[in-house]
Amino acid sequence: MQLMRSFLRGLCRRKPLEPEGEVSTFRRCLTTLDLVALGVGSTLEAGVYVLSGEVAQTLAGPSIIISFFIAALASVFARLCYAEFGARLPKTGSGYLSSYVTVGEVWDFTTGWNLLPSYVICTSSVARAWSGTFDDLIGNVMANYFSKYAAMNLPGLAAYPDFFAFIIYVNILVFNINITTQYGVGGFFPFGFEGTLTGASCFYTDFLGEEVKNPQKSIPVGIVASLLICFVAYFGVSTALTLMMPYYRLNIQIPLPVAFTYIGWAAAKYIVAVGSLCALSTSLLGSMFPMPHVLFAMARDGLMFKSLPGNHVLCFIPAIMALLFDLKALVDMMSIGNLFSYTLEAICILILRLYSQLQTSLLTP
């Protein structure tokens, strides 16, 4: 019985807060402008360059603009929670650390291991988008070759292994979108309002501090500013796509270049494709940025082997998965994981405000 009580106390153990004057092991070098650039670069990922075409064709139709609005509205509240915690507790670990200091170790452990696959899947989607855009520039040589000689006709797997995405980044998971023959009933809501809400759930993940010079100011401003910029970009791209060509004719892998080809602007196709490659390269860096920080924080707190973040052999496991798995299931799983993290973050904010001793120790001057 004593052992059981000790075990239960360990599950609810909260991380003690370090003294405010403690020296961080990270060099504080990021400014507000750096955070906005990182936020915009990592948020404008495969969602705007790839998923916009897939969601418009298979889920929402022209009402994709409402899907973006709903996703942005939900993301605003989630990001404000992150902004408040980031300003009050500017330490490495994102939502992982906030749950550790408020609701205890068991939820912290769950949140940390929930965030890691989300970051990996997010990186995989960007790498696959980069691969698909580049393949379109060279006439779909890779897609045609691997579809012919290395097709994988199994449910849940990609149509063919994307070796180029494997090369782009060795520690990623793959996403691949299957073509559908269901085009809805037409109109602004061809798949009904349910389809619009489903599209919003796909984009909810696309609107996701120890190195910040002034975290109390820079983190909230960086999060809110990058979110507003990205909403305008997403809204504009989705509107333009559904006005340039019928939603049921959109290409679900490279919608923007194909849309310009459809209206007769063949030269613009290459300009947009090159611009997409540059933007996706930035997004790839941004999506890779938070994962090692969570790994570092979990290893530092003893929730994983301390040598695990430096074990490069483990990087080949997600790289192998990058050749095999299908996008839709992975994106849905990532959305579920992020929804769990955002919900727990909101609960942590409420707990933070309810407990006066935590509020006193976390509030900044």
Instruction: Tell me what pLDDT residue 172 has.
Output: 42
Q: Is 26 helix (H, G, I), strand (E, B) or coil?
A: coil
- pTM for the whole structure: 0.62
Instruction: Tell me what pLDDT residue 306 has.
Output: 60
Dist. CA 354–CA 349, nearest whole Å: 9
- 36, pLDDT greater than 80: no
Question: Residue 100 class from Cβ within 10 Å (0-12 exposed, 13-18 middle, 19+ buried)?
Answer: buried
pLDDT band at 183 (very low <50, low <70, confident <90, very high): very low
Instruction: Tell me what pLDDT residue 319 has.
Output: 55
Instruction: Tell me what pLDDT residue 325 has.
Output: 61
Place of tokens 């969570």: 294
Q: Which two tokens stand for residue 94?
A: 């994102």
Instruction: Tell me what pLDDT residue 63 has.
Output: 74
Instruction: Tell me what pLDDT residue 43 has.
Output: 66
Q: Which of 158-167, 190-199, 256-265, 288-297 has the highest mean pLDDT?
A: 256-265
23 vs 115 pLDDT, higher one: 115
CB atoms within 10 A of CB 354: 10
Domain residue ranges of the chain, discontinuous segments joined by +? 27-362
Least confidently predicted of 88-102, 183-197, 285-299? 183-197
Dist. CA 365–CA 349, nearest whole Å: 18
172 vs 97 pLDDT, higher one: 97
Least confidently predicted of 80-84, 205-209, 264-268? 205-209
Question: What are the b/e assignments for 66-76, b being 16+ CB within 10 Å?
Answer: bbbbbbbebbe
Please, what is the average pLDDT of the chain? Answer: 65
Q: Which amino acid is at 235?
A: F
- 104, pLDDT greater than 60: yes
Across the range 58-83, mean pLDDT stands at 73
pLDDT band at 328 (very low <50, low <70, confident <90, very high): low
Please name the CATH architecture into which domain 27-362 falls. Up-down Bundle (1.20)
Q: Which of 28-37, 152-161, 165-174, 254-263 has the highest mean pLDDT?
A: 254-263
pLDDT band at 84 (very low <50, low <70, confident <90, very high): confident
Across the range 23-36, mean pLDDT stands at 64
pLDDT band at 186 (very low <50, low <70, confident <90, very high): very low
**Size (the chain), residues:** 365
Instruction: Tell me what pLDDT residue 194 has.
Output: 41
Question: Residue 232 class from Cβ within 10 Å (0-12 exposed, 13-18 middle, 19+ buried)?
Answer: exposed
Instruction: Tell me what pLDDT residue 184 has.
Output: 44
- 192, pLDDT greater than 60: no
